[in-house]
Amino acid sequence: MTRRPQCIRWDDYFMGTAILAGKRQKDSNSMLQIGSCIVSPDGKIVVGVGHHTVIDGFDSSCPDYWCHAISNAMVWANRHNLNDCILYTVTYPCNKCAQLIIQSRMSHVHYMNKWQCDGSETTYSQKLLSEAGISCREYLPMKDIEIDFRRMDPALFDGSSALSKL
Ligand SMILES: [Zn+2]
């Protein structure tokens, strides 16, 4: 098999999924358009995605009424057991999300930005995650991923034309 040059790494795929999920945040009362993606322990299957939302029925003007992308990804996950799952998150977990990560028994956190998901700069969650033995790694993008939905080449999806090239 010859590897396509445009094939992206798993790391890029999952962090890209987290970034895309964040784009669902529509309320202008929060500047945070960030997302999270939870991946199966074998590192190949997305089991949950989440973005910042206001608690249903609450006013978005109060920061206390916002659910962070990490907690939403956990609540919306398509499996109950998150043991040893891997979290990809655009921002670093805040204290509350770090507690949830520990309680859910996820094993790895890959973050893109050292700012925490509540916008603070404190590092108490680093201490929590470290003491719980959860590995945290900064995600380092290797290349840009660009998706222009309006300019997708139809030939990419046309099996007959692909077969005719064989
Ligand atoms: Zn949080």
The CA 125 to ligand 1 mean position distance, Å, reads 10
On whether residue 5 sits in a domain, the answer given is no
d(CA 19, CA 116): 15
Count of domains for the chain:
1
- For 110, the domain range is 10-156
109 DSSP β-pair partners: 87, 136
The CA 71 to ligand 1 mean position distance, Å, reads 7
The CA 137 to ligand 1 mean position distance, Å, reads 17
| Confidence check: pLDDT of 134 > 60 | yes
Angstrom CA distances, 64 to 10, 53, 96, 98, stand at 34, 11, 12, 17
Q: Confidence band (pLDDT; 50, 70, 90) for 33? A: confident
The CA 123 to ligand 1 mean position distance, Å, reads 13
Contacts of 91 (CB under 8 A, 6+ apart): 32, 34, 69, 111, 112, 113, 115, 116, 117
On whether residue 4 sits in a domain, the answer given is no
Segment among 7-21, 65-79, 81-95, 138-152 with least mean pLDDT = 138-152
On whether residue 31 sits in a domain, the answer given is yes
Give the model confidence (pLDDT) of 54-104 as tens digits.
998 998 888 888 899 999 999 999 988 999 999 999 999 999 999 999 999
On whether residue 14 sits in a domain, the answer given is yes
Q: Which residue has the higher pLDDT, 28 or 137?
A: 137
d(CA 99, CA 131): 11
pLDDT above 90 covers a percentage of the chain that reads: 58
CATH number at residue 48: 3.40.140.10
Query: Do residues 53 and 25 touch, judged by C-beta distance below 8 A?
Result: yes
On whether residue 84 sits in a domain, the answer given is yes
The CA 147 to ligand 1 mean position distance, Å, reads 28
